[in-house]
């Protein structure tokens, strides 16, 4: 009985949605969507809708990009190649990870599946983490947009890159010294063996890639949707001005800007423009904290991280990154 | 590999739901592209990415339909890598989460961002912050004044910020009588006027481009760069006539004769929107409804607020207009062929 009920519920839900889509399609896509005018929505919720859809529409292409890039690495790059490219010396490995962003200029949504895949393929953990943290900042696209946004402080782009590298190196060294256990959600060895089986069993690599992409889209997507929703709610009901009002000493203003970067979950390509709009209210140091912290950690990427890495590791990573960014940006002579 | 018929059935149901959701996303995005509503959510430079995404989503839908009919193939073994949600409640929650943006996108009306959000974000005026308006106001009440002072503390503290210095330095060599120079100057003379600054060719070019016009038209393309330029060369632009368009923004501490004609600037998506505007002085300021779109023509006047120079638009003519299809403005960074 319960089984029947469940399947009934699921099937009817699907049927209802499918039906609605058909109704919508047959009524023709006019500029007023179906039912839009039957209910009066509160303007605040309509604003939430605007932010929510906007963040999703912006992030989905980049998440898909990351998913396909990771599928591409999975299918065409062998473990031996990854091992060969990655420097043996841990210190040179750190540098390599920090500058990999110039080779692969991808933003923070796309980088998580890629790094996870690279680590599975045998990239040393600390190199992967350095790439994860520095990659979304230290790449030509992001630095160029920062330079454009801060017309009046052209060094801001340079400070941003340098600070991000320092923070990433510190975290990379900490990982090298203290993390011995594999932090990926799935045991690395099983995963690799499992993937190898897949490859052998697969008739067409292409169809395998797409099947995989569907799974990844739903795996990553749920976190993305949730993060975007929270961020949209906070933007409408709390607002930047309230957050600005919280702290004004150097220490608290750094914390406030980092908190803001975390909640707003901006793409690292765009956040410099927001930071620039705060330049009359905050000192350069706090803006720098905003610019460095946001791409490394924010609401939506935290959820993606929890999906890819073990719980304990993500908590430690968040703590370490927060403290390091705070200390480094406070000491940075901007 | 798992040939258990019960699991196969479960798998097919999941695939059905996923297919439906993917179709939903395809429909939503296709509809947004066809009706042009996309520009309310994304900056034009990201539109190409959305077209590609639509293509990829269609392919994913096909892949998902294939999964639905074939069931678990050799590849899609029931191993740990991508396990389906286990209990009915978690699957309801997860698929419900995906349905949320679809339902919102298809069944709720669009609304342009307006004053409520602008107030949340803070409005950037010509060379000034909207919170410093107390100094421009004729006579704010004592209570208001106190409130203003509290708000201003932060901004006063970094009065020595590089930005403030940068604003002042270029204006010193120019005679500060605030009147417009006669429009008979040729390009090189105008260029000379702006050449002493170190803001680079980009802003000098825009300054010359704007200054040449008898009535400066701040349209969608030059709105942001134009405002930045006027902010940099506040003294030179004082006295010039300007025509622009935007939505009406009021704030409780504005005087009876003030409102702001504002635009949202977007660089990727609305989450990174910020608000830019010009403070307008007009006798009937209160009669223009908040968030309604207007066209304003008037003369720029230089005011001094809190030690900063600030340009205010003394309105000569205000008329209501239709909201544009793409309500946002962009830096020329986004559209390289922008300002010319």
| Closest chain A residue to B30, measured at CA | A29
Residue A170 — pLDDT band, cuts 50, 70, 90?
very high
Structural tokens at position B97: 């989460």
On the question of pLDDT at B26 being above 80, the answer is: yes
The shortest C-alpha distance from B141 to chain A (Å) reads: 22
Enumerate the residues of chain B whose CB falls inside 8 A of the CB of residue A67: none
Enumerate the residues of chain B whose CB falls inside 8 A of the CB of residue A228: 101
pLDDT at A169: 95
Which of B23, B63, B109 lies closest to A32 in CB terms? B109
CB < 8 Å from B in window 112-141 of A: none
pLDDT tens string B59-106: 999 988 888 887 655 444 434 444 555 677 888 888 998 999 999 998
Is B113 in a helix, a strand, or coil?
Answer: coil
Chain B interface includes A319 (CB < 8 A) = no
- Which position has the token pair 């796309």? A110
Q: CA A217 from chain center: how many Å? A: 14
pTM above 0.80, yes or no: no
What value, to the nearest 5°, has the Cα angle with vertex A107 and ends A101 and A111?
Answer: 75
Q: Do A59 and A243 contact (CB within 8 A), yes or no? A: no
Chain A interface includes B293 (CB < 8 A) = no
pLDDT at A131: 93
Q: Do B279 and B242 contact (CB within 8 A), yes or no? A: no
Mean pLDDT along residues B154-164: 39
Mean pLDDT along residues A177-191: 70
Q: Do A221 and A63 contact (CB within 8 A), yes or no? A: yes
The answer for residues whose C-beta is within 8 angstroms of residue A322's C-beta and 6 or more apart is: A258, A293, A297
- Which position has the token pair 């190898």? A196
Q: Which long-range contacts (CB under 8 A, 24 or more apart) does A78-85 make?
A: A78/A121, A79/A121, A79/A122, A79/A192, A82/A118, A82/A121, A82/A122, A82/A123, A83/A122
User: What is the spatial distance between Cα A20 and Cα A26, in angstroms, rounded to a whole number?
Assistant: 10
Chain B interface includes A91 (CB < 8 A) = no
On the question of pLDDT at B265 being above 80, the answer is: yes
Enumerate the residues of chain B whose CB falls inside 8 A of the CB of residue A69: none
Structural tokens at position B25: 């996303």
On the question of pLDDT at B238 being above 50, the answer is: yes
Q: What is the ipTM of this complex?
A: 0.74
Residue A122's Cβ-count burial label (10 Å; 0-12, 13-18, 19+) is middle
Pick the closest to residue A131 from A184, A168, A178 (CA basis). A168
User: Is B76's CB within 8 Å of A211's CB?
Assistant: yes
What value, to the nearest 5°, has the Cα angle with vertex A110 and ends A108 and A116?
Answer: 100
Tell me which H or E stretch contains B218: strand B215-218
Structural tokens at position A267: 């793409």
Which of A29, A203, A217 lies closest to B31 in CB terms? A29
Strand segments (E) across A174-274: none
Structural tokens at position A193: 């063996």
User: Is A14's CB within 8 Å of B120's CB?
Assistant: no
Residue B20 — pLDDT band, cuts 50, 70, 90?
very high
CB < 8 Å from B in window 241-300 of A: 241-242, 244, 248, 264-267, 269-271, 273-274, 277, 279-284
pLDDT at B330: 84
As a residue count, chain A comes to 334
pLDDT at A327: 94
User: Is B269's CB within 8 Å of A267's CB?
Assistant: yes
Which of the residue ranges A169-173, A224-228, A326-330, B263-267 would you say has the lowest mean pLDDT? A224-228
Domain spans, chain B: 5-110, 116-139+172-320
DSSP assigned state of A78: -
Enumerate the residues of chain A whose CB falls inside 8 A of the CB of residue B115: none
What value, to the nearest 5°, has the Cα angle with vertex A128 and ends A125 and A130?
Answer: 110
Which of A51, A54, A248 lies closest to B42 in CB terms? A54
- Cβ-based neighbour number of residue B59 at 10 Å: 14
How far is CA A316 from each of CA A171, A175, A221, A320, rounded to the nearest angstrom? Answer: 10, 10, 24, 6
Chain B interface includes A72 (CB < 8 A) = no
Enumerate the residues of chain B whose CB falls inside 8 A of the CB of residue A244: 122, 154
Q: Do A259 and A49 contact (CB within 8 A), yes or no? A: no
Residue A318 — pLDDT band, cuts 50, 70, 90?
very high
User: What is the spatial distance between Cα A147 and Cα A160, in angstroms, rounded to a whole number?
Assistant: 10
CB < 8 Å from A in window 38-77 of B: 38, 40-42, 46, 49-50, 52-53, 56, 59-60, 62-64, 66-67, 73-77
User: Is A14's CB within 8 Å of B38's CB?
Assistant: no
Q: Do B29 and B54 contact (CB within 8 A), yes or no? A: yes
pLDDT tens string B183-235: 456 677 777 777 666 666 777 778 888 888 888 888 888 888 888 888 778 87
- Cβ-based neighbour number of residue A99 at 10 Å: 16
- Average pLDDT, rounded, for chain A: 79
User: Is B163's CB within 8 Å of A152's CB?
Assistant: yes
On the question of pLDDT at A194 being above 70, the answer is: no
User: What is the spatial distance between Cα A240 and Cα B123, in angstroms, rounded to a whole number?
Assistant: 11
User: Is A194's CB within 8 Å of B81's CB?
Assistant: yes
Mean pLDDT along residues B19-26: 94
Enumerate the residues of chain A whose CB falls inside 8 A of the CB of residue B153: 248
Pick the closest to residue B310 from B149, B134, B142 (CA basis). B134
Mean pLDDT along residues B301-310: 76
DSSP assigned state of B134: G
Q: CA B304 from chain center: how many Å? A: 27
The answer for residues whose C-beta is within 8 angstroms of residue B93's C-beta and 6 or more apart is: none
């Amino acid at each position: 009985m319960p089984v029947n009920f469940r399947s009934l519920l699921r099937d009817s839900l699907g049927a209802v949605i499918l039906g609605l889509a058909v109704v919508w399609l047959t009524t023709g896509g006019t500029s007023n969507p179906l039912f839009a005018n039957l209910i009066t929505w509160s303007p605040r919720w309509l604003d939430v809708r605007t932010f929510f859809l906007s963040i999703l529409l912006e992030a989905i292409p980049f998440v898909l990009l990351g998913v396909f890039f990771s599928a591409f690495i999975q299918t065409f790059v062998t473990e031996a190649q990854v091992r060969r490219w990655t420097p043996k010396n841990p210190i040179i490995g750190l540098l390599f990870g920090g500058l990999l962003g110039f080779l692969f200029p991808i933003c923070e949504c796309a980088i998580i599946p890629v790094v996870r895949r690279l680590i599975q393929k045998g990239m040393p953990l600390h190199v992967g983490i350095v790439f994860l943290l520095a990659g979304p900042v230290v790449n030509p696209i992001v630095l160029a947009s920062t330079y454009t946004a801060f017309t009046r402080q052209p060094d801001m782009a340079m400070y941003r890159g340098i600070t991000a590298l320092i923070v990433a190196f510190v975290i990379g060294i900490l990982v090298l010294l203290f993390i011995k256990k594999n932090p990926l959600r799935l045991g690395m060895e099983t995963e690799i063996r499992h993937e190898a089986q897949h490859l052998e069993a697969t008739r067409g690599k292409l169809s395998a890639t797409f099947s995989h992409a569907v799974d990844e889209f739903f795996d990553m997507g749920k976190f993305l949707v949730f993060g975007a929703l929270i961020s949209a709610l906070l933007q409408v009901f709390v607002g930047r001005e309230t957050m600005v009002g919280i702290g004004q000493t150097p220490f608290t203003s750094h914390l406030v800007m980092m908190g803001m970067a975390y909640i707003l979950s901006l793409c690292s390509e765009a956040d410099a423009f927001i930071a620039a709009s705060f330049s009359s209210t905050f000192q350069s140091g706090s803006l720098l904290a905003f610019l460095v912290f946001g791409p490394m950690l924010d609401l939506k990427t935290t959820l993606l991280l929890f999906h890819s890495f073990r719980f304990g590791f993500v908590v430690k990573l968040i703590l370490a990154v927060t403290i390091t960014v705070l200390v480094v940006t406070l000491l940075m002579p901007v | 590999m798992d040939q258990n018929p019960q699991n196969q059935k479960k798998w097919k149901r999941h695939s059905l739901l996923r297919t439906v959701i993917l179709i939903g996303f395809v429909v939503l995005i296709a509809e947004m592209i066809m009706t042009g509503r996309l520009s309310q959510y994304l900056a034009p430079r990201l539109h190409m990415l959305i077209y590609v995404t639509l293509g990829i989503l269609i392919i994913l839908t096909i892949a998902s339909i294939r999964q639905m009919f074939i069931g678990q193939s050799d590849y899609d073994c029931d191993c740990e890598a991508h396990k389906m949600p286990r209990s009915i409640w978690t699957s309801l929650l997860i698929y419900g989460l995906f349905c949320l943006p679809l339902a919102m996108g298809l069944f709720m009306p669009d609304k342009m961002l307006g004053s409520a959000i602008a107030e949340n974000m803070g409005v950037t005026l010509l060379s000034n912050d909207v919170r410093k308006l107390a100094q421009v106001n004729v006579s704010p009440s004592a209570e208001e004044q106190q409130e203003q002072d509290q708000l201003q503390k932060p901004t006063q503290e970094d009065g020595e910020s590089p930005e403030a210095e940068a604003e002042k330095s270029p204006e010193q060599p120019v005679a500060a009588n605030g009147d417009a120079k006669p429009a008979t100057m040729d390009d090189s003379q105008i260029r000379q006027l702006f050449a002493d600054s170190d803001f680079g060719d980009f802003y000098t070019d825009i300054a010359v481009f704007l200054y040449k016009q008898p009535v400066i038209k701040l349209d969608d393309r030059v709105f942001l760069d134009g405002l930045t330029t006027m902010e940099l060369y506040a003294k030179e632009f004082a006295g010039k006539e300007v025509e622009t368009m935007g939505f009406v923004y009021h704030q409780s501490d504005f005087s009876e004769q003030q409102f702001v004609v504002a635009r949202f600037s977007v660089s990727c998506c609305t989450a990174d929107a910020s608000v830019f505007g010009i403070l307008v002085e007009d006798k009937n300021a209160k009669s223009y409804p908040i968030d309604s779109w207007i066209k304003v023509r008037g003369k720029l006047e230089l005011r001094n607020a809190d030690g900063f120079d600030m340009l205010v638009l003394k309105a000569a003519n205000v008329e209501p207009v239709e909201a544009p299809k793409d309500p946002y403005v962009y830096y020329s960074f986004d559209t390289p062929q922008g300002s010319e």
